């Protein structure tokens, strides 16, 4: 099974190959804490909290080629305000996500072999930057 990115408003989907790697899957923690400080009496002060959203999901892979149509569709989706999306992991996990527009929705997009004029059969390597919401 592939990754599946679904617009929940229209149920349109984009299939992303299972071979795309979730490169930051284990680099995030929902628990955060402040920098430890000391009170005037010398006690250690540490505050902790739990993040409710914002987990990055970066899908990448130089070894995975995508059709130009897939890149164009993702770019169109990334330019819509408040677009509701669901990402289904190939193992069945589901995430409510949005594009990380502050990082650029599609990180790297490059043609596997650039030729001009370009056509719909061109293949691209891309990085998709998402976050849970």
**Tokens representing residue 49 in the block:** 């909290």
**Could you tell me the pTM of the whole model?**
0.87
**Confidence check: pLDDT of 73 > 90:** yes
Exposed e or buried b for every residue in 97-128, given b needs 16+ CB within 10 A?
bbbbeeeebbeebeeeeeeeeeeeebebbbbb
pLDDT band at 4 (very low <50, low <70, confident <90, very high): very high
Chain-centre distance of CA 15, in angstroms?
14
């Amino acid at each position: 099974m592939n990754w599946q990115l679904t617009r929940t408003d229209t149920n349109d989907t984009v299939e992303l190959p299972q071979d795309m790697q979730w490169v930051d899957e284990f680099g995030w923690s929902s628990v955060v804490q402040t920098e430890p400080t000391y009170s005037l009496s010398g006690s250690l002060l540490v505050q902790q909290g739990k993040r409710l959203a914002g987990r990055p999901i970066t899908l990448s892979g130089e070894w995975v080629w995508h059709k130009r149509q897939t890149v164009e569709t993702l770019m169109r989706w990334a330019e819509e305000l408040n677009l509701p999306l669901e990402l289904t992991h190939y193992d069945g996990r589901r995430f409510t996500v949005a594009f990380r527009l502050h990082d650029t929705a599609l990180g790297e997009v490059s043609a596997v072999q650039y030729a001009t004029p370009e056509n719909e059969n061109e293949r691209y390597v891309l990085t998709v930057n998402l976050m849970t919401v």
